Amino acid sequence: MNSSRPLRVAVIGSGPAGIYASDLLMKSGRTVEIDLFEQMPAPFGLIRYGVAPDHPRIKGIVNSLHAVMEKPNVRFLGNIEIGTTITVEKLHEYYDAIVFATGAVADRDLDIPGENLNGSYGAADFVGFYDGNPRFHRTWNLTATHIAIIGVGNVALDISRILAKTANELHTTEIPDNVYQTLKTNQATHIHIFGRRGPAQAKFTPLELKELDHS
């Protein structure tokens, strides 16, 4: 590599991990030029598409991410799917280094009996729906009255809270209109949260639990 020119880096994924990695590269003391590749039309990953719509304080992180992306040596390239739009081999021809920051975009299989039965869904599917992720369904069947949620993390409590609130309570947030219209059909009356271990091993934060109490 010619040391007289900037280090050219391709960062695949423009969520928090990809953007913070770009920030660290710019603070490394090297002169760098960074291209952020994103398969979605807009950046910010799970901050945009994985945070419950009634949590604007968390989405405020976008402000710090914007500050990084506004640097003159960072370029955003959206609607590009690595492996389809362009190959990794091709990227190696134009960049000195490639950083993969693709994140978690799908649910992990539990490998338990019944997980593929009708009425069983992964959390990512429902979160993608209520956050308006264009890769997920725009409507959802909410006719079930008794809901079982497996897991005791923040996402489990987010889903519980979305189902426990009325559509009108969420209408004041940045919830998409199609989600609002669908949530108006929500018939959930009993929501049960199941964890494998005890309260000490729960992964949700006290604030998440407190917010659920007000739903």
* Domain positions in the chain: 7-100, 123-213
Residues recorded for the chain: 215
How far CA 120 is from CA of 6, 117, 164, 169, in Å, comes to 50, 6, 19, 26
Q: Are 155 and 52 in contact (CB under 8 A)?
A: no
Give the torsion sign (CA, 196, 200, 205, 208). positive
- Give the strand pairing for 190-194 and 74-77: unpaired
What is the third-level CATH fold of 123-213? FAD/NAD(P)-binding domain (3.50.50)
Of 8, 74, 70, nearest to 36 (Cα)? 74
- pLDDT surpasses 80 at 212: no
Q: Tell me the H-state helices in 70-205.
A: 88-94, 123-130, 154-164, 167-170, 177-183
Tens of pLDDT, residues 87-126: 999 999 999 999 999 987 778 888 889 888 999 999 999 9
Helices and strands in the chain, H and E counts: 10, 6
pTM: 0.79
Q: Residue 149 pairs with which residues in a beta bridge?
A: 193
CATH of domain 7-100: 3.40.50.720
Tens of pLDDT, residues 120-174: 999 999 999 999 888 888 999 999 999 999 999 989 999 999 999 999 999 988 8
Burial of 144 (0-12, 13-18, 19+ CB in 10 A): middle
